[in-house]
Amino acid sequence: MNLNNYLDYVILPLLSVSMMLTFIRFVRGPRVVDRVIALDLIITIGIAFITVFSIRSGKELFLDVAMILALIAFLGTVAFSYYLEKKT
């Protein structure tokens, strides 16, 4: 089994299932904190999809996009934490 088969038959189905389960948690909530954590996890899974696509296509540019998306997600999480701290 080479890397492309492993990515196609193991990694991508696992990422897809985890994306669906996380999206269910995002929709159902019940609190805002649960939704923010689920959104952060959705972005992280999206970064994993971008990374797998980068490996499959052999284009390193997509890894830069994934790093920028990770930084934006981190800043969003920090901003939400700051908001919650000031709120209470």
Helices vs. strands in the chain: H and E counts, helices first: 4, 0
Provide the pLDDT for residue 88. Answer: 66
The structure's pTM equals: 0.88
pLDDT per position as a tens digit, 12-21:
999 999 999 9
pLDDT per position as a tens digit, 38-51:
999 999 999 999 99
The single residue listed with the structure tokens 């897809």 is 16
Q: Alpha-carbon distance 50 to 25, whole Å?
A: 22
